[in-house]
Amino acid sequence: MTSAKPVLLISSSVGLSPNPALIEQWLKPVAARLSGIQAFVPAELKPLFPQGQTIAYSGPLSMVRHAPLWRPLAADGPLEIHIIGSGERARDTDALAIAAYLPASSIIHHSLERETEDLTRTLAPLRIDFRQAHPTGRRLNEEEGRRLKAEITHKYVDVLVKNGWQVPRNANPQDQVRARFNNAVGLAQDLVMRAPSISGYPWWATGFTPDGAMYETLDNRVAYARLLERLPGVESALEVGCGSGLVTLMLSGSPTRTLRHLEGGDVAEQRVEGARLLADLSGLSATFKTMSADGLSYPDKSFDLVFTCFVLEQCVDILDHALDECMRVARKFVVLFEPSAEAYPTLPGLIHIPSNGFPADYMQRLMKRGLAFSVVRPPIANFLNSSAIYVINVETSTPPHILQPDILNDVPVHAV
């Protein structure tokens, strides 16, 4: 049996805020024993490590920006990966996500503040199966579901109480949105959300189905992609605000239907680069380009389907222009899967959506445009960020559920 080759990954959080105790107690001893071990380290710490076997990178978002540096490590697999990070694992997202996409027999996380942890199984969900035919999840029993809903509801009632029983209505300016997604949120952050014990956001890994059942599941985008596949006559599709390209890649990897042409666009260049990297890592094909939702770089009626997935929530300042652009480049359908308390509200959603500065009036905007649309209950919806799927027929004046009644049918979640 081939023995695993040891590899050292040091989180950018360690390099950005060097801890003298960490350097003395961990890094210097490790560097002294490093003979023959490949190391991927922040440039600030490069002087501690031997020349010739150390790969230096700079700053956060390194999974995408420095992919040409870390991907060759895979050639030496299987790997025994050791990550040195901060005590707060959520700050080590890039190192953890890189480790998940290397051929690792084990992934061990070390820090001064926490005990050494084996994260091999914890990080397994970061490797997304884009070819799965249906969403899966663990169905919570009735008591677990009640307890989870109560926990989330109590949090948002507390928000109301602290705000004098008024729903907070905060701004979400477009310049701040673009700065955030260009500089702080990337592929690694999206992937680590799939490991709630690391991200610190367990509520995002749960959802409820139309029958009210609560599930632990990461597959709301799988369910959405399988619903999109039901639309008739669709051979080409564009995802507006694609982020890391998750839904586009789920359509690309679909085991049941192949679309002739798939593209995704996002205003943040590093997000587009992340989508391209994830497609390459997953062996899938799609085209990703940099563009703004309010200025799509395509002629009229370029795609049979134009769709969004939790992106117009960040576009309140440009929402009307973004909607008009989606309608302009679509030939048959526009589908919007967005946070909304208009059709299928939850109490937490009624507070969460306005308090984050998300739009709250999709139906009104669509009706003002005289559009034929159907409102579909999401196959899997988040309890705190309630949502709806707006399916718009841009080809005729007939609502889509009249033409295709099965778009209203549930996408079943397979319990595991």
What was the pLDDT predicted at 415?
A: 85
Q: H helices of 184-318, where?
A: 187-192, 196-199, 220-228, 246-252, 269-282
Residue 73 CA to residue 55 CA, distance in Å, equals 10
> What is the distance of C-alpha 115 from the center of its chain?
28
At 362, the pLDDT band (50, 70, 90 cuts) reads very high
Q: Per-residue pLDDT averaged across 353-381, rounded?
A: 95
Calculate the alpha carbon distances from 56 to 53, 92, 159, 234 in Å. Answer: 10, 16, 44, 46
Q: Which domains does the chain have, with CATH numbers?
A: 5-126 (3.40.50), 201-415 (3.40.50.150)
Helix (H) / strand (E) element for 262: namely: strand 261-266
What angle do the packed helices 269-282 and 174-183 form, to 10 degrees?
40
Q: Per-residue pLDDT averaged across 120-125, rounded?
A: 95
What was the pLDDT predicted at 18?
A: 65
- The yes-or-no verdict on residue 36 having pLDDT over 70 is no
- The yes-or-no verdict on residue 15 having pLDDT over 80 is no
Q: Quote the percentage of the chain above a pLDDT of 90.
A: 71
What was the pLDDT predicted at 35?
A: 60
Q: How crowded is residue 230: how many other Cβ atoms within 10 Å of its Cβ? A: 17
Contact between residue 334 and residue 240 where contact means Cβ atoms under 8 Å apart: no
- Winning range, highest mean pLDDT, from 35-44, 50-59, 102-111, 149-158: 149-158
Interval 368-408: pLDDT, tens: 999 999 999 999 999 999 999 999 999 999 999 888 888 77
- The yes-or-no verdict on residue 59 having pLDDT over 90 is no
Interval 204-236: pLDDT, tens: 999 999 988 999 999 999 999 999 999 999 999
For residue 416, with 0-12 CB atoms within 10 Å meaning exposed, 13-18 middle and 19 or more buried, which class applies? exposed
The closest of 407, 413, 14, 386 to 218, measured between CA atoms, is 413
Does the pTM surpass 0.75? The reply is: yes
The closest of 82, 77, 42 to 58, measured between CA atoms, is 42
What was the pLDDT predicted at 32?
A: 67
What was the pLDDT predicted at 34?
A: 58
What was the pLDDT predicted at 416?
A: 75
What was the pLDDT predicted at 1?
A: 47
* Mean pLDDT of the residues in the chain: 91
- What 3-state DSSP class applies to 9? strand
- The yes-or-no verdict on residue 82 having pLDDT over 80 is yes
Q: How crowded is residue 151: how many other Cβ atoms within 10 Å of its Cβ? A: 12
- The yes-or-no verdict on residue 61 having pLDDT over 70 is yes
